[in-house]
C-alpha cells in the first residue's frame, strides 16, 4: 500500500484523486491547495485529510507526493520532497527552465527518490499499444513517425502569455511521444509556425499553428504538427511507418454511431475534452507509478525524460526564432 | 439522496455497487448474498452494511432495492419489496414465466412502487444515441431494424440447461432492443434455429444459432440473428433503415490502433467481455433509475417492458418448435 | 477468339458491348434490336454489323449470343439459339415462369450448348473475394448469411406492374447470392413485406420493403432484407458469419474523402447507379463466359442456377401471400 | 474532335492510348516509338498509324502530341512540337533542369500553343474532390497540409542513379499536390532524408526516406513524407486542416471486404500498382486536356506548374545537401 499526499486540488489533482480511489494498492492520505475551499471539497469527497504542502512533505505517513500545482512552484516542491525522501509524481512540465530541471534532477538523484514525469499520453491504451508492438518488432525498424495534435479551441490570451509558447506548452507532449516511439534521441530540430487561428496569439508573441521536423542520428524522421483549433474535436493521432509495416492510432470518437443520408455517411466528432479523452491514460499512469514504487523499480518516464522533452521544446523555440535547424 | 439495498453480490451486483459509488445522489446502505463471503467482501469495499435480503427489504433506511439474485428468486423478492413499498431495480429476465411476471406486475401496481427492468443495452451510449435520433426524426419513419448479436463463446452446458433457451436467455435483449427502436409492438414472430456451434447444446434441447423475423401492424420489419460464438469478440451491432436515412452502431473495439502489413489493414477485435463492453450502460441505467426516483417519474423500461420481451421470447420458442409464425 | 452476337442494344446490351471491346479473346460480330436506331448506334460505336435476331442466331460466324432483350422474349430466343448450337449468355431472369425455364433447360441440355445466367453480382470483386475465402476455409463453416440490398429509389409504377413482384425482380439477385455463399440449397423460405415507401406500389399489388429468412437442411440461416429506397445510395452489403470468423463487404462509396467538421466525420454516399456500382462485375462476367467457352468448360452460374433462384422467388411470393413458410 | 499523335509507346503511352479510345472527342492518329515493335503493337491495338516522332510533329492531321518518351528527350520534342504549332501534353517531369524548362516555356509561349504538364494526381477523383471543396470554402482557410506518399517497393538501383534523386523523381508529385492544395506558393523549403530502405540507394547518392516542410508567405504549412517502401501497398494520402474543418483522402484498397477473426478486423491492402491506383486520374487528365483544346482554354497544370514543382524539388535537394532551409 502506497500512501499518497496530493499537492494541488485543481482539475488535474481531482482526476488523480479519483484514479487513486480505484486502486487497491494506494491510499490518498492528505491533500493541499492554496485555496482552502478546493482542498476542503476534495477532502470531503475522498476522506483525505487537509494539510499544508509543507506538512504533507514532512508527514511520516506519506510515501509519495503528487505535484499538481502551478508550474512555477514545482522547483521548490520537488527539492523539498526529494530532501524529505518522498517519491515524486510531477505534472508536466517539470519546469520551464532546463537548467532548473537539471537542478531538480540532481536533488532527486542525491536523495535517491523515485521520480515520475506525468506524460500521460504514453499511458493512453492506443498509443501504449503502438509502442508495445513497435518494441515487439511487429513493424520492423521505425523509420517515419507522424504526430498530428490539434486542440478544439485556443486557451485565453492570458494563458498563452504565461504558457512559455506553443512548443513548451502544447507540443511538449508530442516531443515526449516522439522520443517514446522513435526510441532514439533526436539530434536536430527544425520548427516553423504562424498565428493563423487568432492574431492576438501572434500579438502575444506566440504562434497557434506549428510544425516541427526531428531527425535522429541513424536517420529516423519525425513530423509533428499542432493547431490550437479543430472544429471536429480534440484531434490526437499518431502514425509510425516501419520497415515491415505501419501502425496508427485514430481518434476516439464520441460514439460508434454512423448515420447515412443523402450527404453520405457521418460519424460522431472526436471527443472534445482532454480529461475525458485521456481518462484511461490518467488512471493508468497513477497505477504504473504506484506499481513501480511497490516493486522498487524506477517509474517511467522519469525526470530525465522531462528534461529531454524540455530541451526539444527549447530547441524548437530557438529554431522558430532563428529560422534555422537546431542541433542537439 | 436515494438509499439503496443490494440483493445479490455476484458479478453484476458488484458492477451496480461500483456504479452507485460514482453517483452523488445515491448511497449503498446494505448488501445481501446467499454466500456470506460475497456480501462481506462487497461490504468491505463499499462501506455498506451486510444484512439479509429480508432485513434489507424491511429496512426503513432503504428507499430502493436492486435485485441481482438468480432469476428463480426474483418472483418472491419483487412481491416482498413491493409490499414493503420499496422502489425496485430488477435484473432481466424478471421471471421465466410470463404469467408470473403478470403477478409481479399486479403486485407492483397495487403497491404503487417504481419498477425498473434492467435492459442495460438501452443505456449503451451508442444505442441510446440511435434511439434519440430516431425519436428526433433524423431518419424519418423506421422501416427495417437489423440486430446482430453474437457472444464470444457459449456458456457451459449446465448453464444452457437451465437458461430457458436462447430466445429467453440471449435474444431477450434483442427483443427489447427491437421494441425500443421500432417504437411499435411486433404482432408476428417467426423463428429458426439450429445447433451449429456445439452439438451438446442441441442435445440439451437448445439451439446456438438462431434468427427471428418480427413484423408490426404497420408493416415495419425487424431481423435479429444470434450466435453463441464469435471468434472476433462480443459482436453487438444494430442498424435502423428509415425513410430518410440509416443509423447504425458499429462494434466497440479494444483500441483504435490499425496495423498495415502485406496482409492489409488490421484493427483490434471487438471488446470480449460483456461487463466491459457495456460498462457505460451499467452506469447509466443506475443513474437513470435514481434520477427517476428523485424526480418522481417512472423509470423506463418498466415491468410491462419486461413482460413484452418475455412474450416475444416465448413466441419465438413456440415458432421454433412449430415451424410456423406466431401471432401476438 | 469467340465471336459474339448481341441481341438487345439497350442499356445493359451497351454495357456488354463495351466489356467485349476490352477482351482480347472475343469479338462482337453483330447486334440486333427491335429499334433499328438502337442497333445502328451501337454498331457505329463498335464496328459490329446490324442484323436481325433471327439472322444472328442463324449466322455461321457467330459462336455465342448474348440475350439482353425483354424478359418475355427470352423463352423463344433461348430455344432458337440452342437449336442453332449457339452458346448462350442470358440476362436474368431467364423467364418469369419456372416451368418455362425448365423447358429452356431441356432445350439447352438436348442441344448440348453452354448456358450462362447473368447473375452479375457473383462477379463483383468484393463478393467474389468473400466466396473465394469461404471456399478456402478462412472462416470455417458458414453459419449465418446476412444480405442487405436497397435501391436508391423505386422504379415507375408501370415497371412495378410488370415486374413479377419484388422477390422476382429485385430479391432474385439476393437469392442467387444466398445460394452462392451458403453453398447448400435452402429448404425453407419465409417472407414478409409491406408497402412503406410508396402506397401506389401496394395498390399495384406489390411490396417495396421485404425480408426473407432461408434455412438449409444442415441448419444454416440466411437473412435478406430489401428496400426500394435508400437516401444514401445503392446499398449493397453482405456478411457471412462462420465458425472461425466473419467476412463482410461494405458499400462502395463515391470517393475516399472524409470531411471533419463540428458535425463529425463525413464520408461520401454509396455509389448510386447500378451500372457504375457493378461495372467491374459486368466486365468480369463476360470475361468468365468467354474464357469458359474457350476452355470448353461450363460457365457458371448456369441455367439450373437461374431456375433455383426463380424457385426461391416463387416460394417467397407464396410465403408472403399465405403468411406461412414454404418448404422446397 | 482532337487528333492526337503519341510519342512513346511504353507503359504510360499505352495508358494514354486506352484513355483516348474511351473519348468521343479525340482520335489517336499516329504513334511513334524508338522501338518499332512497341509502336507496331500499339498501332495494331488502336488502329493508329506508325510514324516517326518527327513525322508526327510535322503531320498536318495531328492537332496535339502526347510526349511520353524518356525525360531527356522532352526538351527537343517540346521545342519542335511548339514550333510546329502543336498542342502539347507532356509527362512529368518536363525536364530535369529548371533552366531548360524555362527555355521550353519560352518556346511554348512564343508559339502560343497549349501545354499540359501531366501531374495526374490532380485528376484523382478523391484529391480533386478535396481541392474542389477547399475552393468552395467548405473547410475555411487552409492552414496545414499533410501529404504521406509511399511506394510499395524501391525501383532498381540503375533507375535511382539516373532519377535525379527522390525529390525530383518521387516527391515532385507531392510538391505539385502541395501547390494545388495550398493555393499559395511556398517560400521556404526544408528537407531531411536518409537511406533506411536500402544502403545501396545511399551508396548511389540518393535517399529513400525523406521529409519536407514547406511554408508560404501567409504562414500556411505543408508537411510531406516519402518512403520508397511500404509493405501494405501504394500509400497515397493527403489531409488538409482548415479554419472550419478538415478534409482527408484515405487509401484506395484492393476491395471492400473485411474479415473478422481472433486477430481482429482485417481489410485488404492498398492497391499496389500505380497504373491501377491512378487509372481514373489518367483517364481524367486526357479528358481535361482534350476538353480544354476544344474550348480554347488553357489546360491546367501548365508548363509554369511544371517549372514550379521542379524548383521546389531543386530547393529540397539543396536543403538536404546543405542542412539549411532554402528560400524561394
> Which tens digits make up the pLDDT trace of C223-279?
999 999 999 999 999 999 999 999 999 999 999 999 999 999 999 999 998 989 999
B267/D264 Cβ within 8 A: yes
- State the distance between the two ends of chain A, measured CA to CA, in whole angstroms: 41
Q: Which three cell numbers stand for residue A186?
A: 533526436
| pLDDT tens track for B220-243 | 999 999 999 999 999 999 999 999
Residues of A in contact with C265 (CB under 8 A): 232, 253, 266-269
Read off the pLDDT band of A29 (50, 70, 90): very high
Of A230, A261, A267, the CB nearest to C264: A267
Q: With 90 as the cut, is the pLDDT of residue A60 above it?
A: yes
Residues of C in contact with A262 (CB under 8 A): 231-232, 269
Read off the pLDDT band of A301 (50, 70, 90): very high
> Could you tell me which residues come within 8 angstroms of residue B7 by beta carbon, excluding any fewer than 6 positions away?
B13, B32, B53, B56, B65, B66, B67, B68, B69, B77
Rounded-to-integer distance, Cα D325 and Cα D315, Å? 8
Q: Which three cell numbers stand for residue C11?
A: 442499356
Fold classified for D122-280+309-327: Dihydrodipicolinate Reductase; domain 2 (3.30.360)
pTM confidence score = 0.96
Average pLDDT value for chain D: 97
| pLDDT tens track for C300-312 | 999 999 999 999 9
Strands C246-249, D257-261: pairing is antiparallel
Where do the H-state alpha helices sit in chain A? 11-21, 36-46, 53-58, 71-83, 98-111, 125-135, 157-161, 166-169, 171-182, 199-203, 274-277, 279-295, 303-322
With b for 16 or more beta-carbon neighbours within 10 A and e for fewer, the A43-63 pattern comes to: bebbebbbbebeebbebeebb
Q: With 90 as the cut, is the pLDDT of residue B285 above it?
A: yes
B265/D266 Cβ within 8 A: yes
Check if the beta carbon of residue D5 is closer than 8 Å to that of residue D32. Answer: yes
Check if the beta carbon of residue A199 is closer than 8 Å to that of residue A155. Answer: no
> Could you tell me which residues come within 8 angstroms of residue D109 by beta carbon, excluding any fewer than 6 positions away?
none
Q: Which pLDDT score is estimated for C22?
A: 87
Superfamily holding C122-278+309-327: Dihydrodipicolinate Reductase; domain 2 (3.30.360.10)
Query: Which residue has 413484423 as its cell numbers?
Result: B215
Of B220, B243, B246, the CB nearest to C232: B246
Question: What residues of A are in the D interface, CB distance below 8 Å?
Answer: 141, 143-144, 146, 148, 150, 188, 190, 192-197, 209-211, 213, 215, 218-221, 223, 225, 227, 229-232, 235, 239, 241, 243-246, 323-325
Average pLDDT value for chain C: 97
| pLDDT tens track for B162-183 | 999 999 999 999 999 999 999 9
Q: Which three cell numbers stand for residue C85?
A: 448450337
Over residues D129-140, the mean pLDDT reads 98
Of C129, C245, C248, the CB nearest to D261: C245
Q: What are phi and psi of C322, to 5 degrees?
A: -90, -20
Q: Residue C34: which of C60, C12, C52, C21 has the closest Cα?
A: C52
At C282, is the secondary structure helix, strand, or coil? helix
Over residues B37-64, the mean pLDDT reads 96
ipTM of the complex: 0.95
For D185, other C-beta atoms within 10 Å of its C-beta total: 14
Q: With 90 as the cut, is the pLDDT of residue D19 above it?
A: yes
Whether CATH 3.30.360.10 fits A122-274+309-327: yes
Q: What percent of chain A has pLDDT over 90?
A: 98
| pLDDT tens track for B120-169 | 999 999 999 999 999 999 999 999 999 999 999 999 999 999 999 999 99
Q: Residue C323: which of B188, B273, B290, D88 has the closest Cα?
A: B188
Q: Which pLDDT score is estimated for D287?
A: 98
Q: What are phi and psi of D261, to 5 degrees?
A: -140, -170
Strands C326-327, C186-194: pairing is antiparallel
Question: What residues of D are in the A interface, CB distance below 8 Å?
Answer: 141, 143-144, 146, 148, 150, 188, 190, 192-197, 209-211, 213, 215, 218-221, 223, 225, 227, 229-232, 235, 239, 241, 243-246, 323-325
Query: Which residue has 451497351 as its cell numbers?
Result: C14
The alpha carbon of C112 is separated from its chain's Cα centroid by a whole number of angstroms, namely 23
Q: What percent of chain C has pLDDT over 70?
A: 100
With b for 16 or more beta-carbon neighbours within 10 A and e for fewer, the C30-57 pattern comes to: bbbbeeeebbebbbebbebbbbebeebb
Q: Give the DSSP per-residue string, C140-172.
A: -SEEEEEEEEE-SSPPPHHHHHTTT-HHHHTHH
> Could you tell me which residues come within 8 angstroms of residue A135 by beta carbon, excluding any fewer than 6 positions away?
A183
Domain boundaries, chain B: 2-113, 122-273+309-327
Angstrom CA distances, C296 to A95, A220, C45, C115, C292, stand at 80, 57, 30, 12, 6
Q: Which three cell numbers stand for residue A307?
A: 528534461
Residues of D in contact with C247 (CB under 8 A): 257-260
Q: Which pLDDT score is estimated for C109?
A: 97
Q: With 90 as the cut, is the pLDDT of residue A325 above it?
A: yes
Q: Which pLDDT score is estimated for D87?
A: 98
Q: How far does D236 lie from chain B, in Å, by closest CA?
A: 13
Q: Which pLDDT score is estimated for C157?
A: 97
Check if the beta carbon of residue D89 is closer than 8 Å to that of residue D74. Answer: no
| pLDDT tens track for A159-218 | 999 999 999 999 999 999 999 999 999 999 999 999 999 999 999 999 999 999 999 999
Angstrom CA distances, B85 to A256, B102, B192, B293, stand at 40, 18, 42, 13
Task: Respond yes or no on whether the N-terminal peptide bond of residue C301 is cis (omega within 30° of 0).
Answer: yes
Which architecture does CATH list for D2-113?
Answer: 3-Layer(aba) Sandwich (3.40)
Q: With 90 as the cut, is the pLDDT of residue C186 above it?
A: yes
Superfamily holding B122-273+309-327: Dihydrodipicolinate Reductase; domain 2 (3.30.360.10)
Average pLDDT value for chain B: 97
Amino acid at each position: 500500500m502506497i500512501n499518497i499526499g496530493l499537492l494541488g486540488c485543481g482539475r488535474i489533482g481531482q482526476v488523480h484523486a479519483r484514479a487513486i480511489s480505484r486502486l487497491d494498492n494506494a491510499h490518498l492520505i492528505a491533500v493541499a491547495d492554496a485555496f482552502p475551499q478546493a482542498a476542503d471539497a476534495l477532502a470531503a469527497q475522498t476522506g483525505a485529510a487537509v494539510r499544508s504542502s509543507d506538512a504533507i512533505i514532512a508527514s511520516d505517513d506519506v510515501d509519495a507526493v503528487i505535484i499538481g500545482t502551478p508550474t512555477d512552484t514545482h522547483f521548490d516542491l520537488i527539492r523539498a520532497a526529494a530532501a524529505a525522501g518522498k517519491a515524486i509524481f510531477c505534472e508536466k512540465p517539470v519546469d520551464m527552465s532546463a537548467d532548473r530541471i537539471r537542478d531538480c534532477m540532481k536533488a532527486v538523484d542525491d536523495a535517491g527518490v523515485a521520480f515520475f514525469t506525468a506524460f500521460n499520453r504514453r499511458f493512453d491504451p492506443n498509443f501504449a499499444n503502438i509502442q508495445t508492438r513497435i518494441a515487439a518488432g511487429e513493424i520492423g525498424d521505425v523509420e517515419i513517425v507522424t504526430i498530428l495534435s490539434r486542440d478544439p479551441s485556443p486557451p485565453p490570451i492570458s494563458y498563452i502569455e504565461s504558457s512559455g509558447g506553443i512548443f513548451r506548452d502544447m507540443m511538449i507532449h508530442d516531443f515526449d511521444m516522439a522520443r517514446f516511439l522513435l526510441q532514439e534521441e533526436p539530434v536536430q530540430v527544425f520548427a516553423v509556425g504562424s498565428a493563423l487561428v487568432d492574431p492576438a496569439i501572434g500579438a502575444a508573441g506566440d504562434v497557434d499553428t506549428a510544425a516541427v521536423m526531428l531527425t535522429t542520428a541513424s536517420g529516423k524522421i519525425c513530423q509533428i504538427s499542432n493547431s490550437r483549433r479543430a472544429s471536429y474535436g480534440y484531434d490526437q493521432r499518431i502514425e509510425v511507418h516501419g520497415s515491415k509495416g505501419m501502425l496508427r492510432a485514430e481518434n476516439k470518437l464520441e460514439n460508434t454511431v454512423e448515420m447515412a443520408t443523402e450527404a453520405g455517411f457521418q460519424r460522431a466528432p472526436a471527443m472534445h475534452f482532454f480529461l475525458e479523452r485521456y481518462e484511461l491514460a490518467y488512471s493508468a499512469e497513477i497505477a504504473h507509478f504506484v506499481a513501480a514504487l511497490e516493486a522498487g523499480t524506477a517509474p517511467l518516464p522519469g525526470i530525465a525524460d522531462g528534461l529531454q522533452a524540455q530541451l526539444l521544446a527549447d530547441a524548437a523555440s530557438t529554431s522558430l526564432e532563428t529560422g534555422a535547424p537546431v542541433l542537439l
